Amino acid sequence: MSELFQSVSYLNGVGAKTQQALADLGIVTIQDLLYYFPLRYEDLLLKSVAEAIDQEKIVLNGVVASNPVLRRFGYKKTLLVVRLLLDNETIPVSFFNQPWLQEKFIVGKQVLVYGRWNADKRSLTGMKALSTTNFSKESLDAVYPTNKKLHQKTLVKLIRQAVTKYSDQALEICDSDLRRKYHLLTETQIIQGMHFPQTLKQAQAARRSAKFRELYLYQLRLAYLKQQDQNSSIGVRENYNEEYVQQFVQQFGFELTQAQQRVLGEILQDMKSPQAMNRLLQGDVGSGKTAVAATAMFAAVTAGYQASLMAPTEILAQQHYLKLCPLFAQFQLTTVLLTSALTPAQRAQELSKIKSGRYNIIIGTQALFQTDVSYQRLGLVIIDEQHRFGVEQRRSLRQKGQSPDVLLMTATPIPRTLAITYYGEMDLSIIDELPAGRKRVETFWLRFNKMDQVQHFLKLQLQQQAQIFVIAPLISESEKMDLHNAEEIYQQLQQEFSQYRIALLHGQMGADQKDTVMQNFQDRQIDILVSTTVVEVGVDVPNASVMVIYNADRFGLSQLHQLRGRVGRGLRQSYCILLADPHNKTAIERLRIMTQTNDGFKLAQKDLQLRGFGDLFGNKQSGIPDFKVADPLADEPMLLTAHQEVQQLFASDPSLTHHLQLRTYLQSQQLDNLD
Ligand code: ADP
Ligand code: MG
């Protein structure tokens, strides 16, 4: 297998320039080239001109009747015309801007040309001259994604060279049992069938096997990582104090739901074990993840460790701090909030206290933790609402310091496909129950011409001491987008509701200002909070029971669900009003489904359907594997099969001693290939 990992520069015809062009396409080794699969194929139909219809793409088989004529015009433009003798007719074929073809057309020689047939003029606009040797009647021509620096033809030539010389060395990812069971091709067959299929059927069979291979390989990597973590991680064994933990839970003022108790049990179990925890806690908006997290942190401290909590925004970090600090203080635990509001001197002081162990609990945003915070004895890291956190980021976190336990929390309910794909190396805990007594948030979609009704409704709610969130897509007026903005709405509402207390909140305000506003809203000093999506995740103000979202069609489903999750947290009946004049069908569908269900899981699945896979999780930075042939969503059954097979493989041969080749292969893979 070593030769496959050689640089492409080992191939004939690859100089520094070509090597760079290939690298730009992500092709570095010969192996990369072998698995650089075509996007699609062009059907090359060999037809007689009698059968061909106007503008159809066909292949003509003829003899060169006269010397080709090359004309140059304009800047770098050329026209090459050659006359082909078919059965009993001469057909002119013209090629634009392919002057090099001139040499191919030697009078008397048999040639194949591919192009677009013009029935009127009985001529062909040539696109390609094909080789007569390996052309069958149904031949297919692979089309590769490429860039300006590298011509399709050069790429095809190099691939042909690589396939000829090296394809038989490819390592079998799927063993013969697996191949027999699922009718899969061998690695060599896949490579040849993908690049140079003779028939459409062959191309399809190769693609099916290539998809399985890709999904299987990805699952293998995740399982292997998980395995490695379990073997190698000398995690921390946190012998927490059960009695204290019980006492801590009792002071919440509510009983944990069954689901909260169950996941807490799973987490504590992991913490007690010597292996490092690597767990994802999933629970719909408002399901009470924070209480679970707080208890786990408390437990870590009773075992003599520090615990940290990372939030995605400063507002959320602040809120966690305000809520948790007093809870912990009752048990003499010390908590620090690391925010950007600290002066360098203050920050340095706090950092030294963290290092010396004076603080038990450290709360902040992810950004604040990226700079080097050193701990005295870190046992547990909790990351809140951070589903955009790649496999590698998660691993690097764990590898920091003493291999602390890691708990990721997310309100984004993850359909099975996604969970297997993106969190395959983690254990999963699910809170599938909301605290008792929660009322469904009644959701309405209204067009802007119904604004009067909305205002009337808000007045009634305000009279009943409700607090209201008003969400706008922009902070201030934008020339580019015809959308409502927070500043404008804030001013309008001040006129409309002059007897009420209204405040503005957005990301451009200073950390201090934001804190004050949030605190005032918490303390019911504010009736209406006009905000951008800075309140999207996690914000918890139980008395707030109404949310109005302007230009709601501008938000994605999961975002709307997150926003709506800010209300319906207390005992009041809560409402969510979506204001929108949507322009397209998908937007209408999103708004409808929001009015129909509060179930985050259903919404996530719908979101997946409406937006597709890549879009939901954003770009590469989000740690999403880049699938080349497979589509985890469309190929879900195959993904599940691959997953099962990998599970079985690792169950029967945990250290891959009977699959040494696979192990070597997995070891040789750069870890960052995952992200
Ligand atoms: P999320 O899972 O969205 O982070 P939170 O942890 O913010 O949810 O909890 C939402 C609200 O529900 C909070 O006000 C919290 O105090 C309350 N809560 C959590 N667990 C329970 C429970 N078991 N019974 C009643 N209220 C609860
Ligand atoms: Mg939360």
Q: Is the pLDDT of residue 134 over 70?
A: no
Q: Atom 15 (ligand 1): residue with closest C-alpha?
A: 288
Look at 341 and 350; give whichever has higher pLDDT. Answer: 350
Report the percentage of the chain scoring pLDDT > 70.
Answer: 90
CA 505 to centroid of ligand 1, rounded, Å? 24
Is residue 352 a contact partner of residue 376, using CB atoms and an 8 Å limit? no
Give the per-residue pLDDT at 619.
38
Is residue 552 a contact partner of residue 544, using CB atoms and an 8 Å limit? no
CA 36 to centroid of ligand 1, rounded, Å? 49
CA 152 to centroid of ligand 2, rounded, Å? 51
Q: Atom 1 (ligand 1): residue with closest C-alpha?
A: 286
Site residues for ligand 1, CB cut-off 6 Å? 254-257, 260, 283, 285-291, 411, 435, 538, 540, 542, 569
Split at pLDDT 50, 70, 90, the class of 268 is very high
Split at pLDDT 50, 70, 90, the class of 671 is very low
Backbone angles phi, psi at 253, to 5 degrees: 90, 5
Q: Residue written as tokens 């927490």? A: 240
Task: Give the H/E segment covering residue 602.
Answer: helix 600-611
Look at 541 and 21; give whichever has higher pLDDT. Answer: 21
Q: Atom 16 (ligand 1): residue with closest C-alpha?
A: 288
CA–CA separation, 417 and 218 (whole Å): 13
Give the per-residue pLDDT at 75.
80
Give the per-residue pLDDT at 87.
80
Q: Atom 18 (ligand 1): residue with closest C-alpha?
A: 288
Residue 39 is classified by DSSP as S
Q: Is the pLDDT of residue 232 over 70?
A: no
Q: Is the pLDDT of residue 367 over 90?
A: no
Amino acid at 304: G
CA 320 to centroid of ligand 2, rounded, Å? 9
CA 124 to centroid of ligand 1, rounded, Å? 71
Is residue 476 a contact partner of residue 530, using CB atoms and an 8 Å limit? no
Each residue of 277-289: pLDDT tens digit?
A: 889 898 887 889 9
Q: Is the pLDDT of residue 234 over 80?
A: no
Give the ligand whose atoms come closest to the C-alpha of residue 431: 1
Candidate of 282, 410, 540, 561 to mutate for ligand 1, largest count of ligand atoms within 8 Å of Cβ? 540
| Closest ligand 1 atom number to CA of residue 385 | 4
Q: Which of 174-183, 464-473, 528-537 has the lowest mean pLDDT?
A: 528-537
Q: Which of 152-156, 421-425, 599-603 has the lowest mean pLDDT?
A: 421-425
Q: For residue 29, give the 3-state DSSP assignment.
A: strand
Q: Atom 3 (ligand 1): residue with closest C-alpha?
A: 286
CA–CA separation, 502 and 516 (whole Å): 13
Q: Atom 20 (ligand 1): residue with closest C-alpha?
A: 288
Q: Which range is most confident: 41-50, 512-521, 666-675?
A: 512-521
CA–CA separation, 646 and 640 (whole Å): 10
Candidate of 261, 281, 287 to mutate for ligand 1, largest count of ligand atoms within 8 Å of Cβ? 287
Give the per-residue pLDDT at 297.
98
Give the ligand whose atoms come closest to the C-alpha of residue 259: 1
CA 606 to centroid of ligand 1, rounded, Å? 25
Q: Atom 19 (ligand 1): residue with closest C-alpha?
A: 288
Residue 53 is classified by DSSP as P
Give the ligand whose atoms come closest to the C-alpha of residue 288: 1
Mean pLDDT of 542-550: 94
Q: Token pair of 545, please?
A: 């029971």
Q: Which of 8-22, 394-408, 562-576, 595-609 has the lowest mean pLDDT?
A: 394-408
Mean pLDDT of 505-528: 89
Give the ligand whose atoms come closest to the C-alpha of residue 258: 1
3-state DSSP of 148-194: CCCCHHHHHHHHHHHHHHHHHHCCCCCCHHHHHHHCCCCHHHHHHHH
CA 409 to centroid of ligand 2, rounded, Å? 8
Q: Which of 472-476, 588-592, 618-622 has the lowest mean pLDDT?
A: 618-622
Give the ligand whose atoms come closest to the C-alpha of residue 522: 1
Residue 474 is classified by DSSP as B
| Closest ligand 1 atom number to CA of residue 323 | 16
CA 385 to centroid of ligand 2, rounded, Å? 7
**Residue 384: Cβ-neighbour burial (10 angstroms; 0-12, 13-18, 19+):** buried
Give the ligand whose atoms come closest to the C-alpha of residue 566: 1
CA 289 to centroid of ligand 1, rounded, Å? 7
Report the percentage of the chain scoring pLDDT > 90.
Answer: 48
Each residue of 575-592: pLDDT tens digit?
A: 999 999 998 888 999 999
Mean pLDDT of 117-131: 89
CA 295 to centroid of ligand 2, rounded, Å? 14
CA 619 to centroid of ligand 2, rounded, Å? 24
Mean pLDDT of 30-56: 86
Mean pLDDT of 600-623: 61
Each residue of 629-652: pLDDT tens digit?
A: 888 777 888 988 999 999 999 999
Q: Which range is most confident: 2-16, 214-228, 258-272, 659-673?
A: 258-272
CA–CA separation, 280 and 655 (whole Å): 24
Mean pLDDT of 68-81: 89
Q: Which of 66-80, 151-165, 522-536, 609-623 has the lowest mean pLDDT?
A: 609-623
Q: Is the pLDDT of residue 351 over 50?
A: yes
CA–CA separation, 551 and 490 (whole Å): 15
Residues 6+ apart with CB under 8 A from 643: 219, 420, 424
Q: Token pair of 632, please?
A: 């985890």
Residue 372 is classified by DSSP as T
Give the per-residue pLDDT at 666.
84
- Interstrand relation of 361-365 and 335-338 (parallel, antiparallel or unpaired): parallel
Q: Which of 141-150, 296-305, 361-370, 557-566 has the lowest mean pLDDT?
A: 361-370
Candidate of 248, 282, 285, 290 to mutate for ligand 1, largest count of ligand atoms within 8 Å of Cβ? 290
Split at pLDDT 50, 70, 90, the class of 610 is confident
Residue-averaged pLDDT of the chain: 86
Residues 6+ apart with CB under 8 A from 396: none
Task: Give the H/E segment covering residue 522.
Answer: helix 511-522
